Structure 1
């Protein structure tokens, strides 16, 4: 089995807990989410338990739970202070072909 750093395991558990809470707030069962997302109920359970799953499965489940947009937005480098400061100085003004 591949080594997963402690911080990553903690993040996976937290993300799984939050997705599980959202599922319950929407009054959906694991089977409901799995069917709508096109994944197995085991995959949804693994996500909620903080186990590693494929990224497309994770985002499919998050989309059903109305949380995918927040995940995608949170990873936008231009939304960070450093990203906004460095964007103008590091990105090329044009790209040669």
Structure 2
């Protein structure tokens, strides 16, 4: 059930959006060109860049165009976390049932 966005999540959304927009500007790519290359509408890209709002797929499309996709994938690698490293040697179940 979706509810209000937690403050740390909203802050992260804004920070990620600002980082993506900075990368876009550093590469001298217009919003229009980014939208075209990502096969997205300009309003969708603007919303992603300004608010961090949008789908996960759209975020990944934009990250790919800006050369950030590998970093996004790496950032979600569980082996980069203390728990992930500690459990790497243990038998990890394929599914966790409640």
Please give the residue correspondences for 1:5-84 in structure 2 after superposition, counting only pairs within 5 Å. 5-84=6-85
Query: Which residue is equivalent to 1:3?
Result: 4
How many aligned residue pairs are there? 93
- Which segments of 5 or more consecutive residues in structure 1 lack a partner in the other structure? none
Larger mean CA deviation between 49-58 and 68-77 belongs to: 49-58
Larger mean CA deviation between 20-29 and 76-85 belongs to: 76-85
The structure 1 segments of at least 4 consecutive aligned residues displaced by more than 6 Å after TM superposition are none
Looking at structure 2, the residues matched to 33 and 60 of structure 1 have their Cα atoms a distance apart, in angstroms, of 10
**TM-score of the pair, normalised by structure 1:** 0.87
CA RMSD after TM alignment: 1.8
- Which segments of 5 or more consecutive residues in structure 2 lack a partner in the other structure? none
